[in-house]
Amino acid sequence: MAQRAGAAFQGDWGGCHSTCWDANTSMDVGDRVLSNQFTKSGYPLGIMVNTDGDRFVDEGEDFRNYTYAKFGREILKQRGGYAFQVFDAKVTPWLRKEEYADDVVDKVVAQTVEELAEKLSYQGLENPGRFLETLRDFNKAVSSFADLHPEKIWDPAVKDGLSDGSSLELPKSNWAQTIEQPPFVAAKIATGITFTFGGLSVDPNTAGVISLENGKPITGLFATGEIIGGLFYS
């Protein structure tokens, strides 16, 4: 509508504020009742793998408040635009019920990692064998680090320094535990778009929308908030 009125645009039209989102929800609309319960922010407690079965972020880089938008954007870069969060029985009680309850998310549950790999292959995991290798390598690295540092205690309330000892190509810097205690739980996730970064160009003093034709405010047309381009950026 603003474009038809001759408005100028600005901001990052190729970017958006992102989050980890339930991949089994609607592609183009949220749920006004559940609101942001489709967010899936429990990844610091486990690992995330892409369709090839590879990890692609340091899930323990920082608290989720500082990484969720960054990681949501990384999911969008993965082939197919989706990934899987994987947990074992040691951490599933710590997952937020608002986000991971049975009536909120379609979880995949298995008693062995082989069974989990098979079930995820029906959800879009294209390389189950590589997924099992990723789990084995991760568990080996984390277990070795824990043996060398018995003084480090797992604590999701602080950056506990429990890691893989930097022996993996992609580390997990905090909250690293082996994924070996059944039942195993996984959730398919995608990128949830909170809002875009592109928008309208406005006069910063009056909020008048700028005309593309002459660079002056369009009479009677104003904009404010997230519709303004450049208010948020990558």
The correct answer on CATH 3.90.700.10 for the domain covering 18-194 is yes
The Cα–Cα gap between 72 and 70 comes to 6
Give pLDDT, residue 152: 95
DSSP helix/strand/coil, 85: strand
Alpha helices, DSSP H, located in the chain:
68-77, 97-100, 113-121, 128-148
The model's confidence at residue 232, banded by pLDDT at 50, 70 and 90, is confident
The model's confidence at residue 231, banded by pLDDT at 50, 70 and 90, is confident
Model confidence over 7-32: pLDDT tens digits? 999 998 888 889 999 999 888 877 88
Give pLDDT, residue 16: 87
How many contiguous H segments (helices) and E segments (strands) does the chain have?
4, 7
Model confidence over 127-166: pLDDT tens digits? 999 999 999 999 999 999 999 999 999 999 999 999 998 8
Work out the percent of the chain whose per-residue pLDDT is above 70. 99
Give pLDDT, residue 233: 67
Q: Produce one character per residue of 36-53: b if its CB has 16 or more CB atoms within 10 Å, e if not.
A: ebbbbbbbbbbbbbbbeb
